[in-house]
Amino acid sequence: MTLADILRPQPPKDHEEEAEKVSLSAPVIQPAKVIAVWGSAGSGKTTLAVNIGFELSSMDLRVLIIDADSYRPSVAACLGLTEPGPGITAMLRLARTSRLSVDELHRLTEEIQFGKKSLRVLTGLNAPSRWPELDSDSIATLIQFSKEHFDVVVIDVSAELEQGLVSSGSEISRNSSTRVIIDQADFALGLFAADPVGLNRFLWDCRNADFEFWPVANRVRASTIGKNPDRQLRDTMHRLARLELRAVIAEDAHAADLSLLKAQPLCLCAKNSKTRESIRLLSLDLLDAT
């Protein structure tokens, strides 16, 4: 017994058992960090979201990855989930009827184990026409529910931000789900491909980005940017958009191809790659940020 134990006030003896029951039945759960991975189409958003999820899970955090891309959901394909089930649409249907529960979450998400670690994945739409089911209120309810049961929630969202787009069959705005997720997120990443076309596309997309985000350059290599690509990207972003890069993801084509071939994150199939190390450092920055 330490001095701190001696000096610590002790509960009355007849209340010790009751206090123990309370602590076991009502554990204190810290709210999760919600990370929205946004960026230009073709920039590698899904790959980054998946790898951030696995990096944070490897740090003994409870992680949920949600595929909420209403245009091109790809998380299931990235992880080789050939029969992902109803996924997000079923969870949102429960949210609309106030029937979300831990049991339903376990039933409708995929648990992926790697070594002694594991995380859960909520797969995306199984048909493009079902995007109206990603309504803002249900999405917000799902995020709040997820925060109560995970340490980190990583959400892959669409690149599209334009407001006011509706279809003849729905009054829901086409991109409202992406908007509400970014509004609810603690951090939003703005990913772009580090080449002249990718940078130009991202600067165009930024015109609709009326929110704070972390600019992240992906697939950074001298062959498309020139000498000192990191410095050139930082200078260009500052000069053209007054944006400061928060991270650069180094290109490693062999590791990326191996990840696609095996349908595994880099921490499993290419743990010593430059790309994996870049994503690990970004994950640590997100974890430490307030």
pLDDT given for residue 164 in this prediction: 75
Q: 30-288: CATH homologous superfamily?
A: P-loop containing nucleotide triphosphate hydrolases (3.40.50.300)
Contact by Cβ (8 Å): 119, 57: yes
pLDDT at position 82: 87
Average per-residue pLDDT in the chain?
A: 89
pTM: 0.88
Tell me, what amino acid is at 263? A
- pLDDT tens for residues 221-272? 999 999 999 999 999 999 999 999 999 999 999 999 999 999 999 999 999 9
Query: Residue 180's pLDDT is what?
Result: 97
Q: Which residues in the chain land under pLDDT 70?
A: 1-31, 167-169
Domain boundaries, the chain: 30-288
Angle between helices 136-147 and 176-184 (to 10 degrees): 30
Element (H, E) at 239: helix 229-241
Structure confidence at residue 220 (pLDDT):
97
